[in-house]
Structure 1
Amino acid sequence: MTTRSPADPSLPLADLMSAAVPAPGGGPDGGDRPEPAPRRARRRRRRPLLIALALLCVLLVAGAGTAWWTVHGLESNIGHEDGVFDRTALPDAGPRPEADAAAGRAVNILLVGSDSRGPASTGSEADADFESQRGNRTDTMMLLHIPSDRSAIHAVSIPRDSWVPIPGHGEAKINAAFSWGGPRLLVATVEGLTGVRVDHYVAVDFDGFKAMVDTLDGVDVTLKQAAHDPSQNVDFAAGVNHLDGARALQFVRQRHGLARGDFDRVVRQQQLLAAIAGKTLDDGVLSHPLRTRSLLDSMTRTMTVDSGFGLTEMLGLASSLKDVRTSRLDFRTVPTTGTGWKGKQSVVLLDSARSAELFAAIRKDTTWPAPAKGETWKP
């Protein structure tokens, strides 16, 4: 059941500019308060890169200081899903994985994106009852791993057609888990597949991407080769492509006309996240409070999170990531053996041995195994 936070009255501009937010640390034992906004020269040198958490969007203001309204004015936009981690109604799922003691303060977030193309499926404006959304599937799925020492941000994409065990349903494509049982069954499926304990769940609708890109006056992505999408009848040129919101959606929706199909679509999702975060962190965006609020407002309206992950918790996590740099960001796709057929379904087949190595490294918060060609991408 989705609950909503009560709306708070808007503050005068003077208050928005001057008030500060108390933010706890990202781990269970807390952390430091956010530092004041750095000078521009310092921002260029250190540039806190919260790129993999761009979908959380409020984390993007951590490096530039945060006003009172960030928590109180935007919290009401976000939908909160109760019982995401409750296994009572999922007896076939078994108990949740225990957090590995070796992982310390590491945080794992399941990030999903849906392309509903209809009424809101996420955020405070979404229908409160999951039954009204039954049949929807997730188009993007990433497991974000933030290590205990907060030295990096790692994002592992799980292709939506991955053939996996789903508690109570046998084997199926992983995105069917949400269709059949909502966030609760999806989290149970991911935890069962990986053995990783998920600390938080975040879902956004692709309309949130569109609004963010338009607020940023478009973003740039670079392609090595030109691509034509016969399904949408659109073309993308080799080299730099400037995307407005509508074209950004076409970019991440393309499945046909790509050499590696859904695998290239995953890379495009990663590229768009990188472009949004990079543009957001440019000088002049976060330093302008009204534009920043518009940016955050556009994204939080299409965001749903587990009931224990409010804006205050997000900002605390962001504060602990303030020193992360570009070189410490990784996008990876879970190891696979390619595609195959299950009956009449084209599916993605996971490489069980190599996936197990990667998931073990996430659980223990240790160095990840070297990726095979095509499994990793960096902005």
Structure 2
Amino acid sequence: MLSGVLVLVLAVGGGAWWYISGLTGGIGHAKNVFDRSKLNGAGERPAADPAAGKAMNILMVGSDTRDGATTGSEGKDGFKTALGNRTDTMILMHVPSDRSAISSVSIPRDSWVPIPGHGEAKINAALSWGGPNLLVATVENLTKVRVDHYVAVDFEGFKTTIDQLGGVDITLDQALHDPQQKVSFSKGRNHFDGATALKFVRQRHGLPRGDFDRVVHQQMLLSAVAGKVLSQGVLSHPLKTRELLGSMTNTMTVDDGFSLSGMAGLAGSLKGIKQTDLEFRTIPTTGTGWRQKQSVVLLDPTRDAQLFDAIRKDTAWPDAKPSETWTP
């Protein structure tokens, strides 16, 4: 989704700033803007590696407001959010210094990790316990990668954006059935409206690899949305572009250093990006296990360190297992 927003900002840039700045709830003026200066209270942060040049790392989280969220709830750092108490999706997006691609690493929500000040727990508890401050500190502690910006997406609200796009197409290599949501998806191409797309990314039952497949579904949806936005048919309609930009920004929370103008600058440097330049990975794991009577995802410290070292230095990523990577 973030890549889609960047493309939209680029498409309506230049002389169209007069209506961008007037969008209600636009990024940089929304009430849900995270004060990143509070990160300084989270302990020593990893320094950006000089070898990385102008590379940028963005932590994007998605929450399902349907799952126990309380609109206007306030975390320990005073951050008010309508995005839910626990993260449903967590992606570390890496934009290389040469701006040739956007590569993303998904971190399963049940990953068992150290959370500063709380001991070990599932990583999705960090937002509930300490807001974006603690979540960013947890990710930085885990990866040793400095997070430059924070973006949160409300997937419940995101379905409006998908409907405004006219839906998205996602191709599956096998048919799936979710007995809980009572919905089925066909092998081959599926056309999803917003409501069906949300069911697709919410599916927990009937997946061969459980939450690992759910992560892939989330990656597929983000890629499909970015691909639809990048299509000339969407960007050639100024009114539709404006509506989409407003819809997207209204479903997002950003840090105060990543305003609409900041996104526009990044979008300008990514103007040659295509859907095939998007890469998605899942953080290397050793499988699942049990901790404190909970089913958790166990990370692979050695391979994780290799991957995040490459991200930190903005160098070529190590090879991934077929089950860990997905490319449009």
Report the TM-score when normalising by structure 2. 0.91
Amino acid at match of 1:307: D
Amino acid at match of 1:110: L
> What per-residue deviation string (whole Å, max 9, x for no partner) do you get for residues 302-341 of structure 1?
2110011100000000001112234432111110111111
Alpha-carbon contact 2:6-2:266 (below 8 Å) kept? no
Deviation of the 1:128 alpha carbon: 7.8
> What per-residue deviation string (whole Å, max 9, x for no partner) do you get for residues 135-185 of structure 1?
710101000100111111111101110000000100000000001001000
User: What RMSD in Å do the two structures reach over aligned CA positions?
Assistant: 2.2
Match of 1:84 in 2: 36
Alpha-carbon contact 1:52-1:274 (below 8 Å) kept? no
Indicate which of 311, 314, 321 corresponds to 2:270. 321
Name the CA distance, whole Å, in 2 between partners of 1:170 and 1:232.
35
Match of 2:63 in 1: 114
What SS does structure 2 have at the residue aligned with 1:86? helix
Name the CA distance, whole Å, in 2 between partners of 1:368 and 1:85.
30
- For the pair 1:376 / 2:321, whether they are aligned, the reply is no
Name the CA distance, whole Å, in 2 between partners of 1:276 and 1:339.
30
Report the TM-score when normalising by structure 1. 0.79
Alpha-carbon contact 2:288-2:298 (below 8 Å) kept? yes
> What per-residue deviation string (whole Å, max 9, x for no partner) do you get for residues 188-208 of structure 1?
000000000000000010123
Deviation of the 1:77 alpha carbon: 3.3
Name the CA distance, whole Å, in 2 between partners of 1:223 and 1:188.
36
Indicate which of 252, 261, 267 corresponds to 2:216. 267
Deviation of the 1:75 alpha carbon: 6.6
Measured at CA, do residues 63 and 85 of structure 1 come closer, stay the same or move farther in structure 2, by a change above 3 Å? same
Indicate which of 244, 268, 282 corresponds to 2:231. 282
Amino acid at match of 2:183: V
Name the CA distance, whole Å, in 2 between partners of 1:112 and 1:300.
14
Alpha-carbon contact 1:87-1:95 (below 8 Å) kept? no
Alpha-carbon contact 1:85-1:187 (below 8 Å) kept? no
Equivalent runs, 1:171-210 vs 2, <5 Å: 171-210=120-159
What SS does structure 1 have at the residue aligned with 2:305? helix
Deviation of the 1:73 alpha carbon: 2.1
Name the CA distance, whole Å, in 1 between partners of 2:272 and 2:35.
33
> What per-residue deviation string (whole Å, max 9, x for no partner) do you get for residues 242-278 of structure 1?
1111001000000110000111011101111111111
Name the CA distance, whole Å, in 1 between partners of 2:9 and 2:259.
15
Match of 1:169 in 2: 118
Higher mean displacement: 98-107 or 321-330? 321-330
Match of 1:235 in 2: 184
Equivalent runs, 1:46-57 vs 2, <5 Å: 53-54=3-4, 57=5
Indicate which of 274, 287, 299 corresponds to 1:338. 287
Match of 1:62 in 2: 10
Alpha-carbon contact 1:120-1:302 (below 8 Å) kept? no
Match of 1:127 in 2: 72
Structure 1 or 2, whichever has the larger Rg, is: 1
Name the CA distance, whole Å, in 1 between partners of 2:96 and 2:297.
28
Name the CA distance, whole Å, in 2 between partners of 1:318 and 1:238.
35
- For the pair 1:212 / 2:184, whether they are aligned, the reply is no
Measured at CA, do residues 52 and 259 of structure 1 come closer, stay the same or move farther in structure 2, by a change above 3 Å? farther
Measured at CA, do residues 347 and 85 of structure 1 come closer, stay the same or move farther in structure 2, by a change above 3 Å? farther
- For the pair 1:223 / 2:175, whether they are aligned, the reply is no
Measured at CA, do residues 165 and 173 of structure 1 come closer, stay the same or move farther in structure 2, by a change above 3 Å? same
Alignment size in residue pairs: 320
Amino acid at match of 2:33: E
Deviation of the 1:284 alpha carbon: 2.3
Measured at CA, do residues 118 and 343 of structure 1 come closer, stay the same or move farther in structure 2, by a change above 3 Å? closer
